[in-house]
Structure 1
Amino acid sequence: MIRNRPDVVEALPQVPVDAPAAPARCRPHLVETARLQWRVGDGGDPTDLAQRFLTAHGLPVDDLTRPSRHTPHGVCGAALFLSAAAGASAIGAPTGAPTPAPALPDLVVVVYHHGAAAPPHPAPPAWRLGDWRDSWTPAAHAAAVDTVRAAIARGDVYQVNLVGHAAAHYTGDPRPALARLAALPGARYGGTLTGPGWTLGCASPETLVAVEHGRLVTRPIKGTRPATAAGRRDLLASAKERAEHVMIVDLARNDLARVAATGSVRVDDLFAVRRWCDLWQAESTVSAAPAAGLGLADLLRALCPGGSVTGAPKHAALASLAALEPVGRGAGMGALGWVGPDRLDLGLTIRTAVADTRRLHLWAGGGITWGSDPAAEVAEAAAKAAPLRALLAAA
């Protein structure tokens, strides 16, 4: 575990900050003043560590029902990343196979104050991306789908979200390439986060949890079709996709209910069709009033890992995917966003890539139900990864 706390704002070099969900007006003036990094092997509860670290640096996350004010003279906020493995660890569930990108910690909290505008980056060296190598073949992926369907038939689970991984060697600076992901259409949580030996880039459209107008909000996404008129009609008419989606909405309601005021959970929008790049996706909005005295740690333990990328029941699904997925989820399927004095907004790290010193890593998958067709599930995962692969390969 690494903690870094400079004495003054100027103690660390200024670099451009593009953290997902950070206030746009503040980004040119943010200066890192403290950092916490943690890995699963370090022990302890990462959600509790994050809450205590943020509170110690002036962010009142021990009671989310009592936000403070954002001022230009105090702490602006913090970028927060919590991996899927860290979320599973916090609730005592299996953490899965080892990550293929161990340079990336499982918890990163970076605190920022306001300073002078950061200088522009120098021109990056030439960028070149090699061929992608998948961690499992299409046949192995399809076989895993059949294994999940057999588990559903036995009554072990109702749905499991299987995720695959791919990696490619690169030369040059990965930061500009990963920053381009934020420009993908529908990238609600577009941005980057950087640390020693790693850079994470996100183009996620999915809200894991936010506090909006005094309510907790989550927007699970489940159900995908090509972004054509026929694809939209097919998504709206698909009984399989709707059943898969409603299952996850019920899981989201149950997760929120654990940290909500009694009787306050509601579904504000069900099965709305939104566009991400060249795909239609079904999204719902579930919200609740937070319970009195709710802190960040309890909120993260209730929502992480996100239900739309685990399955139902959550603990059984986590055990199933831990046994089936050949490599860990690394940067994928975790939480990434912003915690400020007056706001909290965390996205789910789907459509997310990370670079270590040698390779780019990317994850994609989908929810498996009894009605899943193995070949279609393999194709869906490939379709979700395709826009990222194309953009990352661009010069």
Structure 2
Amino acid sequence: MRKVGPYGVETLPEVLVDVPAAPAGCRGALVERARLQWRRTDGGDPAALAEEFLAAHGLPLHDLTRPAPTHHGDTRLCGAALYLSAAAGALLAGAPPAAPEPAPALPDLAVVVYDHRPTRTPDGGPPTPWWLGPWAESWTPAQHAAAVDAVRAAIGRGDVYQTNLVGHAAARYTGDPLPALSRLGALPGARYGGVLTGDGWAIGCASPETLIEVHDGHLITRPIKGTRPATPAGRAELLASAKERAEHIMIVDLERNDLARIARTGTVTVDDLFAVRRWCDLWQAESTVHATAADGLGLADLLRATCPGGSVTGAPKRAALTQITRLEPVGRGASMGALGWVAPGHVDLGLTIRTAAADGEKLHTWAGGGITWDSDPHAEVAEAAAKTAPVRATLAGR
């Protein structure tokens, strides 16, 4: 059943609010006013539910082309955290149901509205001993490689041009997982670093990727595709790779198409094509796509057009989602979805790559990569391991 209303985290301790993309001056000075949680089994349209819930609590986002206010109209009301799972995004895209979720305690939609409060420090008690067990993978390297070959076969048949494959791992823990999840936000390049908690669950994010940002009617997405070790040789190899560049441009074209659905005609432009940025010990290729929002664009239509993100699905998007459903053994949980901050005239959602989640018993991580005809199965397995290694090391406290 859908849950609406504020409530405490019963099995996970309270932390100061540190939602990704929340205003820097407000973090640590927020208190929850209202909450909506939704799962696919509840039925309905999560995008419409989110927009309606926010409007009912003083945050109308029916028209994102209006200028953002220069100050809070309600001195108490600040904004809201918004989380949408990959499964909810796939539903919006009309994709078939995915594999069972490995962390069913997590909702598929969470919207949390926050008021300001005087800054305070949580009651400090002695830290609980932290232990994180070994990681159990959802598939073996051989199974992962076989899935890569299956995507290549689908490309050969003309079913898809590219599909992103994601693997999952879980590890048991004892102690408080929130300090471990909070550490993810300090990883270098974590543009969307922070945590979101709920009743018996928590999500920690270190994502560098902008799914969608809206400010005063301007739309921005920053797709990331292409990865190499953060060495001089790795950077040169990434820049010279025809395979990585082709994969990247394919996703940029997909993102241009997504924005064109909700933009004024002729306003979609690409800046910084295939710019190399650093995240932890990896180089990654990033582009920036801009557009001007169509008149009257609201949050619900924005989510329907951009979720799930093209860089973690593939092209064409719906065909890639069908491949994902057939090949991935478990659901994507908190990963490959959207997490960030919304306020009047402003939306800033990160794509939940480099993301971990806790339920009452286990920590969960996900990692993957885009598969094209030129993909080498063993290299794809190694790339996914390289992406998740900093996350797992940080969670372990190393």
TM-score for both structures, normalised by structure 2: 0.96
Task: Please name the residue that 2:270 is paired with.
Answer: 267
Deviation (angstroms), 1:342: 3.9
Task: Please name the residue that 1:335 is paired with.
Answer: 338
d(CA) in 2 for partners of 1:85, 1:14: 27
Kept in 1, the 8 Å contact 2:81–2:112? The answer is yes
Task: Please name the residue that 2:10 is paired with.
Answer: none
**Structure 2 SS opposite 1:44:** coil
d(CA) in 2 for partners of 1:5, 1:223: 41
What stretches of structure 1 move > 4 A for 4+ residues in a row? none
**Structure 2 SS opposite 1:210:** strand
Deviation (angstroms), 1:68: 4.4
Deviation (angstroms), 1:120: 2.0
d(CA) in 1 for partners of 2:133, 2:187: 21
Which one-letter code corresponds to 2:140 in the other structure?
T
- Residues 69-102 of structure 1 show CA distances to partners (whole Å, capped at 9, x for unaligned) of 2326142000000001001112221231111001
- For the pair 1:211 / 2:214, whether they are aligned, the reply is yes
d(CA) in 2 for partners of 1:358, 1:254: 41
d(CA) in 1 for partners of 2:43, 2:61: 22
Which one-letter code corresponds to 2:46 in the other structure?
P
Task: Please name the residue that 1:77 is paired with.
Answer: 79
Task: Please name the residue that 2:372 is paired with.
Answer: 369
C-alpha change, 1:373 and 1:16, in structure 2 (3 Å) is same
d(CA) in 2 for partners of 1:96, 1:42: 16
Which of the numbers 301, 322, 325 marks the counterpart of 1:322?
325
- For the pair 1:34 / 2:34, whether they are aligned, the reply is yes
d(CA) in 2 for partners of 1:110, 1:258: 28
- Residues 332-372 of structure 1 show CA distances to partners (whole Å, capped at 9, x for unaligned) of 00000000124210000000000000000000000000000
Which one-letter code corresponds to 2:86 in the other structure?
A
Task: Please name the residue that 1:3 is paired with.
Answer: 4
Which one-letter code corresponds to 2:338 in the other structure?
A
C-alpha change, 1:342 and 1:15, in structure 2 (3 Å) is farther
Task: Please name the residue that 1:141 is paired with.
Answer: 144
Task: Please name the residue that 1:104 is paired with.
Answer: 106
Kept in 1, the 8 Å contact 2:152–2:372? The answer is yes
Deviation (angstroms), 1:28: 2.1
d(CA) in 2 for partners of 1:257, 1:31: 37
Equivalences for 1:168-187 in 2 at 5 Å?
168-187=171-190
Kept in 1, the 8 Å contact 2:168–2:364? The answer is yes
- For the pair 1:359 / 2:359, whether they are aligned, the reply is no
Deviation (angstroms), 1:213: 5.3
Deviation (angstroms), 1:67: 3.9
- Residues 127-163 of structure 1 show CA distances to partners (whole Å, capped at 9, x for unaligned) of 1100000000000000000000000000000000000
Task: Please name the residue that 1:91 is paired with.
Answer: 93
d(CA) in 2 for partners of 1:219, 1:287: 9
- Residues 202-241 of structure 1 show CA distances to partners (whole Å, capped at 9, x for unaligned) of 0000000001453100000000000000000000000000
Kept in 1, the 8 Å contact 2:67–2:216? The answer is no
- Residues 243-291 of structure 1 show CA distances to partners (whole Å, capped at 9, x for unaligned) of 0000000000000000000111010220000000000000000010000
d(CA) in 1 for partners of 2:174, 2:133: 9
d(CA) in 2 for partners of 1:319, 1:158: 13
**Structure 1 SS opposite 2:228:** strand
Which of the numbers 238, 244, 256 marks the counterpart of 1:235?
238
Q: Percent identity, please.
A: 72
d(CA) in 2 for partners of 1:118, 1:169: 32
Kept in 1, the 8 Å contact 2:216–2:346? The answer is no
Deviation (angstroms), 1:55: 1.0
d(CA) in 1 for partners of 2:258, 2:217: 18
Task: Please name the residue that 2:291 is paired with.
Answer: 288
Kept in 2, the 8 Å contact 1:208–1:219? The answer is yes
Stretch deviating more after TM superposition (66-75 or 370-379): 66-75
TM-score for both structures, normalised by structure 1: 0.96
Kept in 1, the 8 Å contact 2:64–2:296? The answer is yes
Which one-letter code corresponds to 1:263 in the other structure?
G
d(CA) in 2 for partners of 1:247, 1:315: 15
d(CA) in 2 for partners of 1:14, 1:360: 18
Task: Please name the residue that 1:9 is paired with.
Answer: none
d(CA) in 1 for partners of 2:100, 2:67: 37
Task: Please name the residue that 2:118 is paired with.
Answer: 116
Kept in 1, the 8 Å contact 2:99–2:325? The answer is yes
d(CA) in 2 for partners of 1:68, 1:376: 45
Task: Please name the residue that 2:20 is paired with.
Answer: 20
**Structure 2 SS opposite 1:27:** coil
d(CA) in 1 for partners of 2:357, 2:174: 14
d(CA) in 2 for partners of 1:297, 1:212: 16
Kept in 2, the 8 Å contact 1:76–1:341? The answer is no
d(CA) in 1 for partners of 2:124, 2:356: 23
